[in-house]
C-alpha cells in the first residue's frame, strides 16, 4: 500500500541544515520501529537538490536488503547514471546485498563518485538499519569508520561537505555510540496527531471508526497504522490481542527473573526504568522501550502519560505498553 508522504517539515529542514556544510560528526538517528525514519530519509535523498542546493548529491543504502541491488540503493537525480557501474560489486556474493554495500561503502562510493565531477559539491550518504545488518557488537566500529571515511572523501574528491547519516531502531546501540564521540545522536519519533490524521485520511476508513482509540493505541506510528489496516482490518482489539500473545514470553521471562513489579512500574511511568536496570535492559533488548534524547530539529519530545512517553524513557508505541499491561493484568494509568 503506497501512501503519500506527510509532514516531517521540521525533520527535513533539520537534515537540510545539517548537510549544508561540513560537520565534525556524522548523524546517528534512532527512533521507534515503524515511526517513518526510512520514509523520511528517502524523501530527503529524493529532494536533496531542492532542500540543500543543486550542488548536493545523495546516496541511500538499505543495509537489510537481501537480493535486489536496485532496492538496496537509491540516489539523487544527479547520481542516477552511476548506478550501472555497481552491478558487479555484489554479483555472486552469498550474503545480503545491502549488508555488502554497507560493509564496502568506500568501494561503493568510489564507483559512484569517480563517474561524477564532485569537486566543490556536497555529498549525503545514508545507511539504513546498520545495527540490524551488521550486529550490535559492530556498531561502535562502524560509526568510527564512517567518521573517518567522511574526512577521507573530502580530501580525495575535493568535496565541500560529506554528510553521513546512520539509522537504527535499536535502543541498545545508544550506549555504545554515546560512549564515544564519533557521532551526533538525535531521535526521530512517531507522527504528531495532525500528521497522523492526514495519514489516516489516505486510507479507506470504515464508518464509525473511533479515531481517538486508534491514536491512543498506535501513538502516531505509520507502520503500525498500515498493519492495523492490512492485517487486522481496522480491528484494534484483534491487533492488541495479537501483540499480547507476541509479548507473552517476555512477560513470563520477567516473572521468572522477579521483574514483574518493575515492569508494572514502567507501564505506569516509563521513567521508572531509570531505577529498574534489569527490567529496562529487557525492554530495550526487545525493542519495547527507548531512551528519550534531543529530537532531530533540536527540540524535546513532549511527555505524555497516556501515550507512555516520559522525560527520559518512552514506550516505542502505546500498543506495546498496553499489551504488557494486559499480560500483567492491570491497565496502564
Q: Which residues pair with 295 in a beta bridge?
A: 187
pLDDT value, residue 110: 84
User: Grid coordinates standing for 259?
Assistant: 521483574
Which runs of consecutive H residues, i.e. helices, occur in the chain?
Answer: 9-19, 37-46, 48-51, 69-72, 87-90, 97-103, 105-113, 130-134, 139-157, 173-178, 193-201, 211-218, 222-230, 236-246, 248-256, 260-268, 277-285, 318-328
Residues 6+ apart with CB under 8 A from 148: none
User: Grid coordinates standing for 287?
Assistant: 525493542
Percent of the chain's residues with pLDDT above 90? 66
- 10-19, 106-115, 139-148, 176-185: which has the highest mean pLDDT? 10-19
pLDDT value, residue 94: 56
For residues 142 and 130, what is the distance between their CA atoms, to the nearest angstrom? 9
Mean per-residue pLDDT of the chain: 91
pLDDT value, residue 209: 93
CATH 3.40.50, the chain: domain bounds: 9-187
User: Which of these ranges, 157-161, 170-174, 252-256, has the smallest mean pLDDT?
Assistant: 170-174
- What's the rounded mean pLDDT across residues 4-24? 94
What is the DSSP secondary structure assignment for residue 311, as one 8-state letter? Answer: S
**In this predicted model, what pLDDT tens digit does every residue of 100-133 receive, in sequence order?**
778 778 878 887 888 788 889 999 999 998 888 8
HSE at residue 280, side-chain half, CA atoms within 13 A, is 16
- What's the rounded mean pLDDT across residues 86-110? 73
**In this predicted model, what pLDDT tens digit does every residue of 254-288 receive, in sequence order?**
999 999 999 999 999 999 999 999 999 999 999 99
**In this predicted model, what pLDDT tens digit does every residue of 237-257 receive, in sequence order?**
999 999 999 999 999 999 999
Query: Residue 230 pLDDT more than 90?
Result: yes
The CATH number for 9-187, chosen from 1.10.357, 3.40.50, 1.10.10, 3.40.30, is 3.40.50
Q: Confidence class of residue 63 from pLDDT cuts 50, 70 and 90? A: confident
pLDDT value, residue 332: 63
Query: Residue 45 pLDDT more than 80?
Result: yes
Q: Confidence class of residue 93 from pLDDT cuts 50, 70 and 90? A: low
- What's the rounded mean pLDDT across residues 170-185? 86
- What's the rounded mean pLDDT across residues 199-211? 93
Q: Confidence class of residue 92 from pLDDT cuts 50, 70 and 90? A: low
pLDDT value, residue 187: 96
Amino acid at each position: 500500500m503506497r501512501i503519500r508522504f506527510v509532514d516531517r517539515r521540521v525533520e527535513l529542514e533539520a537534515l537540510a541544515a545539517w548537510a549544508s556544510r561540513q560537520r565534525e560528526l556524522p548523524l546517528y538517528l534512532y527512533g521507534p520501529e515503524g515511526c517513518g525514519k526510512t520514509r523520511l530519509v528517502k524523501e530527503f535523498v529524493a529532494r536533496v537538490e531542492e532542500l540543500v542546493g543543486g550542488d548536493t548529491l545523495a546516496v541511500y543504502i538499505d543495509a537489510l536488503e537481501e537480493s535486489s541491488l536496485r532496492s538496496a540503493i537509491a540516489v539523487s537525480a544527479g547520481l542516477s547514471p552511476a548506478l550501472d557501474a555497481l552491478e558487479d560489486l555484489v554479483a555472486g556474493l552469498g550474503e545480503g546485498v545491502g549488508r555488502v554495500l554497507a560493509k564496502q561503502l568506500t568501494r561503493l562510493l568510489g564507483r559512484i563518485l569517480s563517474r561524477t565531477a564532485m569537486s566543490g559539491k556536497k555529498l549525503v550518504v545514508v545507511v539504513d538499519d546498520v545495527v540490524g545488518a551488521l550486529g550490535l557488537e559492530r556498531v561502535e566500529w562502524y560509526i568510527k569508520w564512517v567518521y573517518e571515511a567522511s574526512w577521507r572523501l573530502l580530501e580525495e574528491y575535493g568535496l565541500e561537505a560529506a554528510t553521513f547519516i546512520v539509522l537504527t531502531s535499536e535502543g541498545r546501540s545508544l550506549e555504545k555510540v554515546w560512549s564515544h564521540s564519533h557521532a551526533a545522536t538525535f531521535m526521530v519519533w512517531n507522527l504528531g496527531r495532525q500528521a497522523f490524521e492526514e495519514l489516516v485520511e489516505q486510507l479507506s476508513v470504515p464508518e464509525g471508526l473511533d479515531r481517538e482509540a486508534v491514536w491512543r493505541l498506535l501513538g502516531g506510528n505509520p507502520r503500525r497504522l498500515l498493519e492495523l489496516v492490512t492485517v487486522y482490518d481496522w480491528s484494534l482489539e484483534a491487533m492488541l490481542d495479537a501483540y499480547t500473545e507476541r509479548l507473552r514470553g517476555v512477560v513470563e521471562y520477567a516473572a521468572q527473573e522477579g521483574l514483574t513489579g518493575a515492569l508494572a512500574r514502567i507501564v505506569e511511568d516509563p521513567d521508572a526504568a531509570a531505577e529498574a536496570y534489569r527490567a529496562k535492559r529487557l525492554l530495550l533488548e526487545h525493542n519495547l522501550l527507548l531512551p528519550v534524547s534531543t529530537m532531530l530539529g533540536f527540540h524535546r519530545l513532549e511527555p505524555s502519560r497516556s501515550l507512555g512517553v516520559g522525560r527520559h524513557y518512552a514506550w516505542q508505541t502505546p500498543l506495546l505498553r498496553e499489551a504488557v499491561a494486559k499480560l500483567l493484568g492491570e491497565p496502564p494509568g
